[in-house]
Structure 1
Amino acid sequence: MADDRYEPLHAAFRWQVPPDFNLAEACCGRWARATPKATAIYFESDSGCRAQYSYAQLQRAANRLSNALMAQGVRRGHRVAVQLPQRFETAVAHIAIQQIGAVALPLSMLFGAEALAYRLQDSGAVLAIAAGEAMPALRAARPDCPALRRVIVVGDCTTARDELAWMDVLQAEAASFTRVATRASDAALLLYTSGTTGNPKGALLPQQALIGNLPGFIASQDWFGFDPFDESKPSDAVFWSPADWAWTGGLMDALLPSLYFGRPIVAWQGRFTADKAFELMAAYGVTHAFLFPTALKAMMKAAPRPKRLGLKLRTLMSAGEAVGDAVFAWCRECLGVPVNEMFGQTEMNYVLGNCQRLWPARPGSMGRAYPGHRVAVIDDDGRECAPGQVGEVAVHARDRHGVPDPVFFLGYWNNDAATRAKFTGDPADSWCRTGDLARMEADGSFWYEGRADDVFKSAGYRIGPGEIENCLLKHPAVANAAVVPKPDAERGALVKAYVVLADGHVGDAALVAALQAHVKARLAPYEYPKEVEFIAALPMTTTGKVQRRVLRLQEQQRAGLGAGAS
């Protein structure tokens, strides 16, 4: 058990945000000058392609692209879409966009034409940088996006009108570029949140948001190879995460922080599998990683005893769903590393979590507020809840010393009403609500109770799905599970479990009874699933979160209720 150094560390922490700050300079420029030959990116694809790129190579390519963007009329404040998978060109695009003071609009490779059209039209993006395999959907979306003047295509793809080939564009430009000066508060990224109702909202993040992420990143990665008590010792970390670089989890929790500290990150362009995850970590000597609970569950099932694989892994961070004690114990006992759970949102990321090197963590806990962040559980009226009372997790715009927290978004794009609704009062000096329910114990540790719309009542009992799902996962027949309410006239709702079977198991009445008995024996009597439905795969977001809302709405429709039923 780690010594508890939390309180003195948190009390002593002070934000050091310079008035001028630029992501491109912080994540590439300074390293290209100081350590030009150091590896920035290891690249591997499922087609067998492998490459290694230095910070100097990253900077030269970004300079060429910055010149090309300027030649295409892109200027400070313009939105530039980036629809690319994990690869070298993705990092180049982000560095180049920040060098000219434009705003990057990351877009998932999984988006169809309708999803693309909404985001491109709403943002007013003037140019897109897209992978060849994304072009059919992007071309279908373009008629609805009049502001989009050009598309730069990366990879094999025959270009059409108003489309330019990546290599042709870069080869025509100089490898030198003078970066524009940006303020720390200037806009840098526009990330659209999926939300639970209505159209996605674009969260506009400032340059300084990365600084706001750093305490959580370095703490959750157990100081990322640095010695927290001897700063003269350099880091030898190698980072990897399967998280999509188009999302907060991949961009702000993996790519940009790794580059900020001048360390290499592994880019894997391919589908996630447990076997490939182990292979990549062994091949590149990955020391630090961010893996979603769903990924860890798959890896646990695939390799219950993975120590023979020769991994160099030292620390894991996980987020998106509660890890649960089964995965927590497997990481500690079988991988030989701690797993630090983290919590954050696109609007204010990396605010809660664990750092087992400096303070103790219990399985299932969301952790404590990371240094620099003031986090609490509040009630409907915005008052802080008593220890142990369930309420909504909220982050204050100012830290415990009254200093503005740099982690916050600037607001929702073209949606002032939604921005105001996110806060309990003045956005510059009030609580920002997350929509997630938790309780905070007297020691400052948070315990997740689910999304505000995931928690439900059955016969008067408040049911949080996480604990039941974690219990089901401990059964050898269960690969994954999601728990939702099934409408019931007598109890209001029944506990229903959707279960994905592990290989070699058959979903029959005997297994249903066994799973019910399994939960009954471990949790409260009212928590066992009254109904179990076996399903091939759970609906998931692109960031690895189970979409319980999809299953909940399905149950309401089956019961003949409208989508607005609770």
Structure 2
Amino acid sequence: MTARRPARHRSDAPDAAASSAAPVEGDLYPHMHARFQWQLPDQISLAELCCGRWARETPEATAILSDSDTGCRAHYSYAQLQRAAHRLSNALQRLGVKVGDRVALVMPQRFETAVAHIALNQLGAVAMPLSMLFGPEAMAYRLQDSGACLAIVEAGALPTLREVRAECTALSHVLVVGGAALQEGESDWMAALQAEDARFQPRLHAADDPAILIYTSGTTGAPKGALIPQRALMGNLTGFVASQNWFGFDPRDPSVASEAVFWSPADWAWTGGLMDALLPTLYFGRPIVAYQGRFTPERALELMQRYRVSHTFLFPTALKAIMKACPHPRKHYDLHLQAIMSAGEAVGDAVFHWVQDELGLTVNEMFGQTEINYVVGNCARLWPARPGSMGRAYPGHRVAVINEDGEVCPPGTIGEIAVHRRDVHGTPDPVFFLGYWNNDAATRAKFTGDVENSWCRTGDLARMDAQGYLWYEGRSDDKFKVAGYRIGPGEIENCLVRHAAVANAAVVPKPDADRGSMVKAFVVLSPGHQGSAQLVTELQAFVKGRLAPYEYPKDIEFIDSLPMTTTGKVQRRVLKQLELERAQGRPGASVSG
């Protein structure tokens, strides 16, 4: 594998960002953030940036390293990726897919998923990734709401799609990846591609042309489709290279590069897997591991060893699982990690220090949303990380904590994290989504201020210190009051996870006749531990001795797993609803994700 320099140093690629700043010693952040300026071209094509140019210039370089729990492995080059994408673009065009049409991708991490994204983009269609884990209701809602005209489906998800297809009147055809007995209106992927020419003339895109439609994870309310433009990937790049400790490049000498291999268990059907892993890795012409199989801590460590993974995105639940299952991984695995990025939930200082002690790295926590991805985080190589902090605004993004009136809060004050449409120089920030699909009211509600000079609200609470570090305080709808005290679940959950018996925890309010509510903790135990009244008392004392007296959980319930979204976030609303139903006398209520 040949290491390559970032595209912005190439003459044929858009100069997405530039800084005339000379490197300085120590904390580089204030200098970088103040001097960074966006420089975007009028035309941007994800297919060209992530595949076309590499297929021409380094065609034999590895793009996808495919692996699976069945032992099937393969390597695919950028040339192979491009040829397959050209064939698929021709096949889709023959099936009637036009510019702007939404095409659903119900696919896991595999070569064909990358092919589909490149093919759809160069055709001008909008890719709509959907999780393989979606049940019939979740899949039907998104297919109906988007008006998807075609679906590309891995055989494992085909039964679910067939169950709801009659309800999705716009869906005219299904392309099936993998062996399956086909029904009317379905075609085999391999047969369709083999019938087509490996040449195709990609469409030229304006920077604001739509590229991807991603539905929010729906932790509260119905999922909304965020329409992502071509330019959004460029807006992600400062966060990607920072959170990946410059992704194999030397920030003081961009001509110096080392081999980089990326892997993440993050599903390519959501923002964390697609925009934080697959597309940025391909943008830099590097290989990414595509693994089809269930995540386990041992399997994750084996994969990182086998492919000499240098850079990874592991969400906090994955890091916690690895920490509990293999406390000393470097004693058992030959790892080559240079950077770990984490997001989705607060990492917490317990995991932060474990990564430092046992993996020899400082985890780069990151924060973003489907609508405005990769806007806050850390870069251990360029500025000091502070345990428990989610980091600072990445270069190119203007981030603040605001109050209900849209005013910027003074340092140390808790408010809502917001991102301004324009950077510190007044230049439009390319990271922003175009709006919610067919939901103008929700789009307007997301912003405070006029259209061109507004803050985008995230719904997440934090406080910012004098140096620009943000300290997460939880979702605005996760906070609750107990005996007059306002409780944030994150601090209690982080404290519980420090205990050897706790693999994961979620804290919610439990209705109480006297106090209004009490602190309730749902706890997933580490391997080898059993729930008992004695352990409940021990955990309560553990929290009491470390946090405020009113924060310890008066009720602890041991469960096998926490309800999670497909993006790895704890669905506290499910647990809150469970407690409410129990309080209302519904004995059959149980935990379900």
What is the distance in 2 between the residues matched to 1:425 and 1:389?
Answer: 21
Q: Tell me whether 1:465 sits opposite 2:489 in the alignment.
A: yes
Name the stretch that deviates more: 136-145 or 310-319. Answer: 136-145
Name the amino acid aligned to 2:533: A
For each residue in 1:93-123, what CA deviation from the matched residue of structure 2 results, as whole angstroms up to 9, or x when unmatched? 0000000111001011011222111111111
Task: Give the one of 105, 117, 120 matched to 2:143.
Answer: 120
What is the distance in 2 between the residues matched to 1:108 and 1:506?
Answer: 33
What is the distance in 1 between the residues matched to 2:437 and 2:53?
Answer: 31
Assess if the C-alpha contact under 8 Å between 2:219 and 2:571 holds in 1: no
What is the distance in 2 between the residues matched to 1:336 and 1:407?
Answer: 32
What is the distance in 2 between the residues matched to 1:199 and 1:333?
Answer: 41
Who is 2:251 aligned against? 228
What is the distance in 2 between the residues matched to 1:196 and 1:414?
Answer: 20
Name the amino acid aligned to 1:515: L
Q: Tell me whether 1:55 sits opposite 2:63 in the alignment.
A: no
What is the distance in 2 between the residues matched to 1:107 and 1:294?
Answer: 21
Task: Give the one of 288, 294, 299 matched to 2:317.
Answer: 294
Who is 2:234 aligned against? 211
Q: CA deviation at 1:231?
A: 1.3
What is the distance in 2 between the residues matched to 1:327 and 1:253?
Answer: 21
Q: CA deviation at 1:490?
A: 2.6
Who is 2:99 aligned against? 76
Who is 2:537 aligned against? 513
Task: Give the one of 313, 331, 339 matched to 2:363.
Answer: 339
What is the distance in 1 between the residues matched to 2:450 and 2:112?
Answer: 40
What is the distance in 2 between the residues matched to 1:235 and 1:76?
Answer: 39
For each residue in 1:369-411, what CA deviation from the matched residue of structure 2 results, as whole angstroms up to 9, or x when unmatched? 0000011111111111111111111111111111111000000
What is the distance in 2 between the residues matched to 1:459 and 1:388?
Answer: 24
What is the distance in 1 between the residues matched to 2:144 and 2:389?
Answer: 40
Who is 1:369 aligned against? 393
Who is 2:294 aligned against? 271
What is the distance in 1 between the residues matched to 2:581 and 2:256?
Answer: 59
What is the distance in 2 between the residues matched to 1:539 and 1:113?
Answer: 18
Task: Give the one of 273, 297, 301 matched to 1:250.
Answer: 273
TM-score normalised over the length of structure 2: 0.93
Who is 1:140 aligned against? 163
Q: CA deviation at 1:199?
A: 2.4
Q: CA deviation at 1:235?
A: 4.2
Task: Give the one of 190, 196, 199 matched to 1:173.
Answer: 196
Q: CA deviation at 1:508?
A: 1.1
Who is 2:304 aligned against? 281
Q: CA deviation at 1:196?
A: 4.0
What is the distance in 2 between the residues matched to 1:174 and 1:548?
Answer: 50
Who is 1:201 aligned against? 224
What is the distance in 2 between the residues matched to 1:13 and 1:139?
Answer: 49
Assess if the C-alpha contact under 8 Å between 2:328 and 2:358 holds in 1: yes
Aligned residues: 562
Who is 1:530 aligned against? 554
Q: CA deviation at 1:428?
A: 2.7
What is the distance in 2 between the residues matched to 1:219 and 1:183?
Answer: 27
Who is 1:391 aligned against? 415
What is the distance in 1 between the residues matched to 2:361 and 2:55?
Answer: 32
Q: Tell me whether 1:13 sits opposite 2:2 in the alignment.
A: no
Does the C-alpha gap of structure 1 residues 561 and 400 become closer, same or farther in structure 2, counting only changes over 3 Å? farther
TM-score normalised over the length of structure 1: 0.98
Give me the identity figure in percent.
70
Does the C-alpha gap of structure 1 residues 440 and 150 become closer, same or farther in structure 2, counting only changes over 3 Å? same
Name the amino acid aligned to 1:428: E
For each residue in 1:110-159, what CA deviation from the matched residue of structure 2 results, as whole angstroms up to 9, or x when unmatched? 11222111111111111111001111111111111111111110001111
Q: CA deviation at 1:191?
A: 0.5
SS for the counterpart of 1:366 is: coil
For each residue in 1:278-315, what CA deviation from the matched residue of structure 2 results, as whole angstroms up to 9, or x when unmatched? 00000000000000100001101111111131100111
Task: Give the one of 24, 30, 33 matched to 2:47.
Answer: 24
What is the distance in 2 between the residues matched to 1:433 and 1:188?
Answer: 23
Who is 1:192 aligned against? 215
Q: CA deviation at 1:198?
A: 3.5
Name the amino acid aligned to 1:485: P
What is the distance in 1 between the residues matched to 2:323 and 2:233?
Answer: 32
What is the distance in 1 between the residues matched to 2:459 and 2:411?
Answer: 19
Task: Give the one of 462, 478, 492 matched to 1:438.
Answer: 462
Q: Tell me whether 1:500 sits opposite 2:524 in the alignment.
A: yes
Q: CA deviation at 1:425?
A: 2.4
What is the distance in 2 between the residues matched to 1:434 and 1:105?
Answer: 22
Q: Tell me whether 1:560 sits opposite 2:587 in the alignment.
A: no
What is the distance in 2 between the residues matched to 1:374 and 1:490?
Answer: 44
Q: CA deviation at 1:415?
A: 0.5
Who is 2:513 aligned against? 489
Who is 2:434 aligned against? 410
What is the distance in 1 between the residues matched to 2:312 and 2:531?
Answer: 34
SS for the counterpart of 1:272 is: coil
Who is 1:3 aligned against? 26
What is the distance in 2 between the residues matched to 1:442 and 1:26?
Answer: 38
Name the amino acid aligned to 2:476: A
SS for the counterpart of 1:62 is: helix
Q: Tell me whether 1:539 sits opposite 2:563 in the alignment.
A: yes
Q: CA deviation at 1:197?
A: 4.1
What is the distance in 1 between the residues matched to 2:505 and 2:519?
Answer: 13
Name the amino acid aligned to 2:411: P
What is the distance in 1 between the residues matched to 2:185 and 2:160?
Answer: 16
Aligned Cα RMSD in Å?
A: 1.3
SS for the counterpart of 1:222 is: coil
Task: Give the one of 295, 319, 325 matched to 2:349.
Answer: 325
Who is 2:21 aligned against? none
Who is 2:18 aligned against? none
Q: CA deviation at 1:208?
A: 0.4
Assess if the C-alpha contact under 8 Å between 2:220 and 2:573 holds in 1: no
* Off by >6 Å, runs of 4+ in structure 1: none
SS for the counterpart of 2:535 is: helix
Who is 1:35 aligned against? 58
What is the distance in 1 between the residues matched to 2:479 and 2:45?
Answer: 41
Who is 2:181 aligned against? 158
Does the C-alpha gap of structure 1 residues 237 and 145 become closer, same or farther in structure 2, counting only changes over 3 Å? same
What is the distance in 1 between the residues matched to 2:372 and 2:585?
Answer: 35
Gaps (5+ residues) in structure 1? none
Gaps (5+ residues) in structure 2? 1-24
SS for the counterpart of 1:233 is: strand
Q: CA deviation at 1:414?
A: 0.5
Name the stretch that deviates more: 276-285 or 426-435. Answer: 426-435
Name the amino acid aligned to 2:240: F
